[in-house]
Amino acid sequence: MLKVKICGIKTLETAVEADRAGADLIGFIFYPKSSRFINPFKAAEIAKSINCKKVGVFVDENPGTINGIARLVGLDYVQLHGNEDAKFAAKIRRVPIIKAWRYNDELDMREVNKYPSDYILFDSFVKDRIGGTGKTFDWHKASLETRKLTKPFFIAGGISKQNVQEVVKIFRPYGIDLSGSLEIKGVKSIHKIRDFMDWVNNLRGEENISTSSDEVVLSK
């Protein structure tokens, strides 16, 4: 089943709504420079009220701090979204790792496969921006490269109700990651979350979207 990750959650209301609507994962951003940053103590309170999986997004943070926040919040996954190398990843304790890569022509899938993460996330490459750009990348070109992967992966960057079917057909991903398309003026919209998840849930039911690390079946 296609996984849906809604990232940049900052309030209890949006977390609960995303959970009720059928999101599989929600993302808390613990990068202070992000407009979607959330205090770890607030995230911990929100986490008590939801059942879906919780992802903590970090950018070049101290490993000890990451491990501490993971325990405090009860994270199910740690997402490394910066320049963290393999030695850094080895210091993350007892929590599966999602490693984010910004896709461009210089990205080497051999390097991606070797990285000690459990999952991979591809986001758009925008100079001087870490992520959350709301921009898509060359999906058709990238899909040729992702066939070389040996791990399940997520696709992020400009995904919305209008193109979710396309991205699934092109990539056959384990999951998709959304943030900006579910916002109005930088704030998560309950209406947009419900609308998107209704759309995806209908696709799951009517078209039987199922995924694994290496295939997706779309059939009526």
Q: Which residues are identified as catalytic?
A: 7, 123
Which residue, 21, 18, 2, is CA-closest to 10?
18
Residue 8 in contact with residue 132, Cβ under 8 Å? yes
- Cα-Cα-Cα-Cα dihedral sign, residues 135, 120, 27, 41: negative
Residue 83 in contact with residue 89, Cβ under 8 Å? no
Which residue, 69, 65, 70, is CA-closest to 88?
65
φ, ψ of residue 41 in degrees (nearest 5): -70, -35
- Cα 190 to its chain centre, rounded Å, is 19
